Copies of this chain bind each other. A is one copy, B any other.
Amino acid sequence: MKLITRDTDYALRALCFIAKKNGKIVAVPELVRELKIPRPFLRKILQSLHKHGVLSAYKGAGGGFKLAKPAKRIFLFDLLAIYQQDWHLNECLFKKMLCPNVRKCALKKKIDKIERFVKKELSLISIASLIG
């Protein structure tokens, strides 16, 4: 099981790099050079970051990307939400077949508790805190 997939990983790297540029616009060629990420894949990733309001995009010659909001307000949780779309640990595991008691499945409650913790922690990890 991977918590952080390739998309998320690359997105993180790119965002950290861009964040360090303090608002300067960064284009894909530079990112590819510095981060050694396959170009078409990186482009796809950046496009989705743009679509989800994490990056601002500037088209045309001299264009590129910069952060759409302060690095302090971009969280690992946001990236998970983008790339592992609506991930959750707690599907209905037994399809109600073996649920110990119908109203409160002990297992579901426990998994939910774990999930809440994980989500809380992920929503505390900001880009800013990684390049600090």
**Distance from A99 Cβ to chain B, minimum over Cβ atoms (Å):** 9
Given A110-B121, A111-B3, decide whether A131 and B100 contact each other with a Cβ distance below 8 A: yes
**Distance from A21 Cβ to chain B, minimum over Cβ atoms (Å):** 13
* A46 interfacial by beta-carbon distance below 8 Å: no
How far, in whole Å, are A75 and B106 apart by their CA atoms in the complex?
14
Copies in the complex: 2
Given A100-B130, A100-B131, A132-B100, decide whether A4 and B93 contact each other with a Cβ distance below 8 A: yes
**Distance from A89 Cβ to chain B, minimum over Cβ atoms (Å):** 4
How far, in whole Å, are A3 and B113 apart by their CA atoms in the complex?
13
Interface size class of A (residues with CB under 8 A): 35 or more
Determine the chain B residues whose CB is within 8 A of the CB of A122 once the complex forms: 114
Determine the chain B residues whose CB is within 8 A of the CB of A22 once the complex forms: none
Segment at the B interface, from A10-18, A54-62, A63-71 = A10-18
Contact assessment for B4 and A89 in the assembled complex, using a CB-CB cutoff below 8 Å: yes
How far, in whole Å, are A13 and B107 apart by their CA atoms in the complex?
12
* A97 interfacial by beta-carbon distance below 8 Å: yes
How far, in whole Å, are A125 and B131 apart by their CA atoms in the complex?
37
